[in-house]
Structures are given as structure tokens and as C-alpha cells.
Structure 1
Amino acid sequence: MSSVSRRSFVTLSALASASMVLPRIGAAAPRNPPAASTKKIHLNFNESHLGPSSLALEKMQDGAASTGRYHYGAQLKLIELFARQNQIPSDYVHAYSGSREPLQYAIAAFTDEHRSLALATPSYDAPVEAANSQKVTIHEVPLLANGEHDLAAMLKVDKTPGLIYICNPNNPTGTVTTPQRIEEAILNKPEGSVVLIDEAYIHFSDAPSLIPLATKRKDVLVLRTFSKLYGMAGARLGLAVGHPELLEKLEVWDGNNFVPLPAAMGGIASLEDPALVRQRKLLNANVREQTRAFLAGHGFTCTASQANCFMIDTGRPAEKVIEGLARRNILIGRKWDVWPTWVRVSIGTQDEMKAFRQAFLEVVQQLA
């Protein structure tokens, strides 16, 4: 559990214990489903309520039936397909069990007691957890007022940072930092440092990917995941894109493992679906913007998200809002100390977001 904090482990364990019967997407409904009043609405982990596409699910089930043998070819096919679609050499792509895995390897490879980690706050907390486990110096730089990374400040916090982490679109805000500003920062960063661009939410946004830049340099890594738009969070599948020499430094920690066959087959099916990204991006944006407009109409400020989550300034202590919603069986994201009155909400179904909106108003009014 080296890079996973006790807090994260306890949180995940508690959630697992609360759901003793795990649902199977695509399975028949249970004979005795729980009463509607006890069903929890999960808007807390930026998961996709859609799950894998129907074709991906079919291929994953086929893969599960064939897991009695090693199938190295499936991972190779996945890598070659992704590389071909992005017009890059296949040796610039490695596959992992989720994108968190190469992120942790990057912390191990490029930071230590002499090489720090620089990142924004609030942002994804996995880099901080991994760095803390290795006693790495961490520089957290507040986001700009518009939600973009303050890249100028991030470049100044240390003359020799080992790793500069940029989540774009950012988690938890969903806000986008323009690729032009990121490219400019890379050109002006300290020599020897590595820039890691986490594009877990790129499919939901209009921002162009920085994968092309990662193939031109030896100090830029780009991460992708199938956990978000593709709905494969539980399958654990991610990709790292970078110069082969840079990827080799991650492989020291990975040991040349390969991803599970069902995940690889589901990933291939997802990439082969030409309409999947467009359809899910549009669906997510419609529900997200309806909710943001509703909240704005009631006087609440929300981040300008281009992801499947956004943040709301509740004007109340964040933990109180989170607790109040949980009592109504609606689970939302955790609090960030740097923004004590803001909460993160993941995008669910139309009905789930309608229930959230009503409950949210009730909770904040009671806390007034």
C-alpha cells in the first residue's frame, strides 16, 4: 500500500463494506431490489454511470472466458490501435492497470529527497499521496481565479523540481488550462525536470491533447485512462505516452507486467467505436450544464468545468454539506482544505442530478 494513504484506504474500505452485494453492469435486476429510499446515489468518484459500452462489455466477457491463458497479444493490439489513431509510433505507448499506476511510477522514478513535486491545488491528490510515502518535498500552487493552473508560479517554486504534474482538465474543478500555456511552460521549465500531463478527462473537453508534444520531447509524459468517459473504472486500464527512454524509467517499477485480458479487450472495443466519445461527451455536457445553470440561478458559483465533475461554492462548511447530502443517500466528493466551502460533484443520470439539485438546496438552506 506504499503510495495509498490510510485515509484513502479507509474510505474505500468503508464504501465497499456498505455495498456487500456488488452490482454487475448489464446483469439482470435482482429479484428483490432495495427500496428507493435506501438506494444511494453515487456522485463522488467521477465514475461513469453508463459503464462500458455494450460492445466493450461483450468483449470483456469474452476476455473473462479466456483468462485461463496468458494473452500478451491483446495488450499489443490495444497499444498499436491507440498509436495508430493518434499517429504516433507504438513504442511511445505503454499500457497499465489504470492511469494511477504509471503516475505512481513517475513519482518513484523522477522525484526523491532532492527532486521535488510541483502541482496545483486543489487537484488530484494521488501524486501527493505517492510523494508523501517517499518523503518528497511537495509544492502545491493555488489555481488561478479562472481555474487554470498558475504555471508561472509552479515553475518558480523550485529551481530543480523532479516532476511537474498538470491535470488537464483538472480534477476536482473540471477546468482547462490552455495547451498553448502548457507548451510555453514546458519550454521555460527547469532543465532536467519532467512534466506529466494527466488527460484523464480530456475526452469530455474541447481542448486538444498534448500527446503530439510528448512524442517530440524526452521530458513530457501524457497519461490516459479508460475509467472516465469509457466507463471502465473497475476494469483498471490506462496508458502512458512518452519517449521510449522516458517510459523505460517507469518500467523499472512496473516489471513489464501486462494488463488483464478483459480490460484490454474492452479498451480495444471502446477505441474502435467511432461514435462513443462524441455521444457520451454530449450527454455529459448536457446534464452538467443543466445542473450548473440551475445552481447559478439560485445564486451559487460553479467552476467552468469541461469534465464529468465540477465544484460548487456552497457558502457553508463543505463537510457539513457533504454530511447533509449523505444523510439523504447522495454521496458527493470530499472536501479540499484550500477551498473550505466548495464541494465536488460528479455527473450522474438526469434523475440522479435532479435528486441532487433538490437535496442540495434543502441542505444549504438548513445550514444557513
Structure 2
Amino acid sequence: MTAMTRRSLVGLGMALPLLGQINWANAASPSPATNGGPARINYNESPWGPSPAAREAMREGIGLCGRYPYDAQYRLIDLFAAEHGLKPDQVQVFCGSKLALQHAVMAFTGSRSLVVPEPSYEAPAEAAVGRGTRVHSIALDARFAHDVDAMLAADPAAGLIYLCNPNNPTGTVTPRQDIERLLARKPAGSVVLVDEAYIHFSDAQSCIDLVKDHPELLVLQTFSKLYGMAGARLGLAIGQAPLLQRLEAFDGQNVAASPTLLAGLASLQDRQLVPQRKAKNARLRDQTIAWLAERGWRCTASQTNCFMIDMRRPGQPVVERLAEQGVLVGRIWPSWPNWVRVSVGDERDMQRFRSAFAKVTG
């Protein structure tokens, strides 16, 4: 990488003094479900991790780490492009889609502003503020979807308009026709970025097919969520080649590690992985939301691996009390101080959540 954000540098500075204190023999600890640790349903991670095929591919990839993994990267690009009817130069690999998102902010804003929904994923706004870019935060509409008309009206010369669909933290979906209307009416020169980190959990139609007809549309996907590879760092940026070339100015010779790329290939080739995990996640999510509804709690209509609960009072004390019970849930968004985000874990995680939630709200 040729560029690092201020936040990245701060994080690195905090981490370096700790490296010598880590007990590397114990660094790869068992999952919480097996070691009695807390239920970690706070970061929208997969409780199942990489698929069996992806894990085997990772083991094979270790032996290839002495060489640059360009061949594996090209194979991943070719497979993804073929699956979506794209040209290989319309797909770019990143070490996590967050990196692609940060580079998009750097490439398409600066003198021109950033428009974001609120609440939503904070990374683009944080990257913009760090470089002095003006940010317009637009409240979600009554459906908890993106208010695309208000986003269009925010700045007639916006540099980047960001949509997270399905949205994090609400888990809600913005209808495809709204996104198409945004693309049709957006200012000339404004880039629309649709972050599809959670698309695999939902019934929403991806916007990848729109890339062919919209030269200023950038779509991001990730292997961090449904594919269970948050710790392996693999994301994709999809757009017309000239648009992706503008990201490369900040990207350099970006390439993920061999084990990560081979795991991504194995994940794409497993045709049952997405439907199986989608169904399992939906069952656990909907069971938990139904349990909460029976007790009078209102939740967002989520189609992802997270949802939000309206606590009808400040949510931070609830987060802290749940942590005391060994259940870690998501942070509070300042614009929604009474709502708590809960990620969907495995069966045991959600049982622990229900038990702890009943205690702290009883």
C-alpha cells in the first residue's frame, strides 16, 4: 500500500508497543463457544468462520507464501467476472472492502463533498473528515431505507454518494428502483458507491449488473461477512475500468495473501455455501426478533446478520449491562441513541443473548 489514513497510523502506533507482550503460543485461542468466553455478537462477524473448503485452501496456500500470489488473484478476478457477466478489468481485489471504500473517498472527494446515510457504516465519513472533506449526513426515511431524494438534494456537485445496501447497522434494504432513480438523477461527475457487504444475507438484487451502463457506479462486496473471512481480509471493487483506475492511484500493487485468495476462490466455487448460511442466519435472526417482539420490543426489519432494538431509553447502559452478563453487542450510533445493534451469532450465542437481555431489562 502506498497510502495510510491517519486512523490507520494511530492504530499502528498503539499496536506496536504491544507486539512484544503477545504470547504467540496462545494467540490462536478457541472460539468463544468452546472456551467459555463472552458471546461476541458485536462486530457482525460470522460465527462459523471460513467454510471447510476455504480452510483447506488456506492450508494449501501457506506453502505458496514464498511467491507473490498474482496468479491466484487473476483466477479469483476471472471467476467472479465470469459469474457476473463482467470483463476482468471491471473487478479489482482489495485487502478487505473497507480499504476500497477508503480509497474511493480519497479518489472522488476532497474539493467535492461526500453524501452518506445516517445511521450507517461510519468508515467513509471518518475517512472524509480526516482529510477535511465536507460530509452531508442524510437521515434514513420512515422505512429505515436510504432517502435518495434527500441525498440528491444535499449537494448538486457531490463527489461521492455512499449507500450501504443492506444497511449497517439497521439491516434494512433500500429498494432497487430507488437506487436506479439515484443513478438517473445524480449530478454529472458524482460517483455513486453501493456497499454490498451484507448482500448475500438478503433477498435484495445486487447492483453489479448496473455497472455496465453506469460509468460512475462503484459496487463493493466482501468475503468478511457471510463467507466468514473477516480476519483474512478480502474484498472486491466492481466498476468500469476507468473508474477502477482512479482507485489504483492510492492502491499501488495491492494483492492479498495466497491463503486468503485461495480461500476466496474456494468460497465462490461452493455453490451451497451462500444459500445454506443465508438460511441459517435468517432462522436465528428471525427467531430472536420474534422473541423480542413477544416481549414488546421493536426491532428493525433486518435482512442481514444484524438488527437493531429500540430500547426506548439510552442504549449505552444496556450495552454495558449485557457485557457484564458475558454478552457483547454493538455500539451506539449517536443519531440513534436509544437503539442497540445486535449481530447474529450461532445458536448458543443467541440463547445467551436472550437470557442476558431478559435479565438486564426485567
Question: For this structure pair, what is the TM-score category when the shorter chain's length is used for normalisation?
Answer: over 0.9
1:263 maps to which of 260, 264, 267? 260
Look up the equivalent residue of 1:51 and give its one-letter code.
G
Over residues 338-365 of structure 1, what are the superposed CA-to-partner deviations in whole Å (9 max), with x where a residue is unaligned? 1111010000011110110121121123
User: What does 1:216-295 correspond to in 2, within 5 Å?
Assistant: 216-295=213-292
In 2: Cα distance, 1:171 partner to 1:8 partner = 23
Match of 1:86 in 2: 84
In 1: Cα distance, 2:8 partner to 2:328 partner = 21
Over residues 168-208 of structure 1, what are the superposed CA-to-partner deviations in whole Å (9 max), with x where a residue is unaligned? 00000000001111011110011110000000000000011
In 1: Cα distance, 2:122 partner to 2:276 partner = 29
In 2: Cα distance, 1:181 partner to 1:211 partner = 15
Match of 2:294 in 1: 297
Question: Taking structure 1 as reference, are residues 96 and 277 closer, same or farther at Cα in structure 2, changes over 3 Å only?
Answer: same
Q: Give the number of equivalent residue pairs.
A: 355
2:56 maps to which of 46, 55, 58? 58
Look up the equivalent residue of 2:109 and give its one-letter code.
T
Match of 1:40 in 2: 38
User: What does 1:14-33 correspond to in 2, within 5 Å?
Assistant: 21-23=26-28
Question: Taking structure 1 as reference, are residues 295 and 7 closer, same or farther at Cα in structure 2, changes over 3 Å only?
Answer: farther
Does the alignment pair 1:318 with 2:318?
no
User: What does 1:316-355 correspond to in 2, within 5 Å?
Assistant: 316-355=313-352
In 1: Cα distance, 2:13 partner to 2:153 partner = 35
Does the alignment pair 1:173 with 2:165?
no
Question: Taking structure 1 as reference, are residues 187 and 206 closer, same or farther at Cα in structure 2, changes over 3 Å only?
Answer: same
Is the 8 Å Cα contact of residues 314 and 364 (structure 1) preserved in structure 2? no
In 2: Cα distance, 1:82 partner to 1:4 partner = 31
User: What does 1:93-112 correspond to in 2, within 5 Å?
Assistant: 93-112=91-110
1:208 maps to which of 205, 210, 213? 205
Match of 1:155 in 2: 152
Unaligned runs of 5+ in 2: none
Is the 8 Å Cα contact of residues 112 and 134 (structure 2) preserved in structure 1? yes
In 2: Cα distance, 1:320 partner to 1:7 partner = 28
In 1: Cα distance, 2:179 partner to 2:78 partner = 27
In 1: Cα distance, 2:22 partner to 2:133 partner = 34
TM-score with structure 2 setting the length: 0.93
Q: Secondary structure at the match of 1:270?
A: helix
TM-score with structure 1 setting the length: 0.92
Look up the equivalent residue of 2:352 and give its one-letter code.
A
Is the 8 Å Cα contact of residues 93 and 241 (structure 1) preserved in structure 2? yes
Aligned-residue offset at 1:22: 3.6
Is the 8 Å Cα contact of residues 3 and 104 (structure 1) preserved in structure 2? no
Q: Secondary structure at the match of 1:235?
A: coil
In 2: Cα distance, 1:146 partner to 1:111 partner = 29
Is the 8 Å Cα contact of residues 118 and 138 (structure 2) preserved in structure 1? yes
In 2: Cα distance, 1:306 partner to 1:356 partner = 19
Question: Taking structure 1 as reference, are residues 103 and 71 closer, same or farther at Cα in structure 2, changes over 3 Å only?
Answer: same
In 2: Cα distance, 1:302 partner to 1:215 partner = 37
Aligned-residue offset at 1:10: 10
Aligned-residue offset at 1:9: 8.1
Does the alignment pair 1:124 with 2:121?
yes
